[in-house]
C-alpha cells in the first residue's frame, strides 16, 4: 500500500479505535496506530500485524507532529474530546491534512465549530467532528430527510437502542460533560443551546417495525443538537433515548460491551428514527443496525475516503450532512446500516 492511503488513528487502542483500525484495513488504507500508551499500542499492533506505531500525547505537540508526518488524514478516537480535540486539530492544521473525530461530547463539538471554523477554512483543511453514531448518523439522516427543503420547524431524533453497555471512554466523556455543565442538562431550542435543571420527560415514541412503540426519555440530548443546526435552518432539535438504554448508561455496574460475532460487535441493536417537520408536513429517515460503537467505524472511514477522493461539498469545519451528499453517503453504508427514506 502506498503512503497516499496512510491514516493516523489517534486513540487506536480504545474500543472504537480498534473498530476504526480494522475497517481502515478492510478498505485498503494503511492505518498508523497512535496514542499516549506505548504498551497498549504494542499490544494492539500484535493484533493487527503490519501497521506502524507512533506514540504521541496531546500534551506534547511535537509528538503529535511526528505522529502525523507523512499521513493523509487523522481520525481522533481518543476521548474525552474536551481534552484531545483541540491539540489533534491543531496538529492536523499544521500538517495540512483532514481531521475526523468520533466525539459524542456536545460541548467539545461546539468548541470545534466555534474555534476552528475560520482557521480550517483558510487552510483549506476539512475538519469533521462527531463523525460517529451520535452526531454524524443523525445529521446524515436529518439532511437526507429534509430533501429539497431549505428550512424546517423541528428535527426529532429518536434512538431506539435495545440496551446500552457503555465503554470506559463513554463514561469518562460523560463525567467531563457533566462537570462542564455544572450538573445541568442541555437542549437545543429557539435556535440555541439552553442549559437547564428541568426533569426529563418520559413519553412513548412510535418507532417503526420491528421495534414498535417504546418508552423513551425526552430531551436525552446528544451531539445532534450541534451537528444538525450547524448547517440546517431548524430552530428546534430534540433527541430521545429508549428508557432501557438510558438506564443501562446510568447504572454504574452495567458491564462494557462484549463481542458476539467475528467482527467484534456486541449483540446490541439500534433503530434511529428521524422525523423532520415543516408546518403540518413530516418527512422521515430510519437507520437500523448492530452495535453503536462498531458502526462508527464505517461512518468515520467512509468520511475519510470521501474527503481524500474529493467527494465533498465544502471545506473547513463541517458536519457530515453539510460536507457530504447525505443520501449517497448513507447508501454507501448498506452493508452496515439498513436505510429507509420517507420524503
pLDDT for res 1: 39
Residue-wise pLDDT for 61-101, tens only, equals 999 999 999 999 999 999 999 999 999 999 999 999 999 99
pLDDT for residue 213 is more than 60: yes
pLDDT for res 3: 52
- Average pLDDT for residues 126-132, to the nearest whole number? 98
d(CA 273, CA 227): 16
pLDDT for res 343: 72
Residue-wise pLDDT for 279-298, tens only, equals 999 999 999 999 999 999 99
pLDDT for residue 2 is more than 60: no
User: Per-residue confidence at 342, pLDDT binned at 50, 70, 90?
Assistant: confident
- Average pLDDT for residues 255-270, to the nearest whole number? 97
CATH architecture label of 3-132+296-326? 3-Layer(aba) Sandwich (3.40)
Query: Fold identical between 3-132+296-326 and 133-292+336-342?
Result: no
Distance set, CA 337 to CA 155, 202, 296, 303, 322 (Å): 21, 28, 11, 15, 20
Residue-wise pLDDT for 301-310, tens only, equals 999 999 999 9
Residue-wise pLDDT for 131-167, tens only, equals 999 999 999 999 999 999 999 999 999 999 999 999 9
List beta partners, residue 34: 10, 54
- Average pLDDT for residues 250-266, to the nearest whole number? 96
Q: Which CATH class is domain 133-292+336-342?
A: alpha beta
Residue-wise pLDDT for 18-65, tens only, equals 999 999 999 999 999 999 999 999 999 999 988 999 999 999 999 999
d(CA 80, CA 83): 6
Q: Domains of the chain: which residue ranges?
A: 3-132+296-326, 133-292+336-342
Amino acid at each position: 500500500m502506498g503512503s497516499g492511503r496512510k491514516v493516523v488513528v489517534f486513540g487506536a487502542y480504545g474500543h472504537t479505535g480498534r473498530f476504526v483500525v480494522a475497517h481502515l484495513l478492510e478498505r485498503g488504507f494503511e492505518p498508523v496506530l497512535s496514542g499516549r500508551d506505548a504498551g497498549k499500542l504494542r499490544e494492539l499492533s500484535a493484533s493487527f500485524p503490519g501497521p506502524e506505531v507512533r506514540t504521541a500525547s496531546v500534551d506534547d505537540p511535537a509528538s503529535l507532529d511526528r505522529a502525523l508526518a507523512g499521513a493523509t488524514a487523522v481520525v481522533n478516537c481518543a476521548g474525552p474530546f474536551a481534552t484531545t480535540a483541540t491539540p489533534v486539530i491543531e496538529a492536523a492544521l499544521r500538517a495540512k491534512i483532514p481531521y475526523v473525530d468520533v466525539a459524542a461530547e456536545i460541548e467539545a463539538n461546539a468548541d470545534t465549530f466555534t474555534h476552528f471554523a475560520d482557521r480550517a477554512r483558510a487552510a483549506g483543511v476539512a475538519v469533521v467532528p462527531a463523525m460517529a453514531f451520535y452526531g454524524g448518523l443523525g445529521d446524515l439522516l436529518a439532511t437526507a430527510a429534509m430533501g429539497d427543503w431549505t428550512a424546517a420547524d423541528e428535527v426529532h431524533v429518536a434512538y431506539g437502542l435495545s440496551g446500552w453497555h457503555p465503554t470506559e471512554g463513554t463514561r469518562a466523556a460523560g463525567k467531563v460533560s457533566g462537570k462542564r455543565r455544572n450538573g445541568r442538562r442541555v437542549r437545543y431550542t429557539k435556535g440555541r443551546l439552553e442549559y437547564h435543571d428541568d426533569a426529563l420527560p418520559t413519553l412513548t415514541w412510535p418507532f417503526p417495525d420491528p421495534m414498535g412503540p417504546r418508552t423513551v426519555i425526552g430531551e436525552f440530548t446528544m451531539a445532534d443538537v450541534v451537528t444538525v443546526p450547524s448547517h440546517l435552518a431548524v430552530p428546534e432539535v430534540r433527541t430521545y433515548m429508549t428508557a432501557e438504554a438510558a438506564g443501562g448508561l446510568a447504572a454504574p455496574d452495567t458491564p462494557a460491551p462484549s463481542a458476539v460475532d467475528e467482527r467484534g460487535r456486541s449483540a446490541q441493536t439500534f433503530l434511529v428514527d428521524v422525523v423532520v417537520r415543516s408546518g403540518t408536513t413530516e418527512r422521515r429517515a430510519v437507520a437500523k443496525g448492530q452495535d453503536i460503537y462498531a458502526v462508527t467505524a464505517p461512518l468515520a472511514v467512509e468520511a475519510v475516503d470521501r474527503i481524500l477522493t474529493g467527494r465533498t461539498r465544502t471545506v473547513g469545519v463541517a458536519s457530515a450532512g453539510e460536507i457530504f451528499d447525505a443520501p449517497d453517503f448513507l447508501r454507501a453504508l448498506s452493508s452496515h446500516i439498513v436505510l429507509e427514506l420517507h420524503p
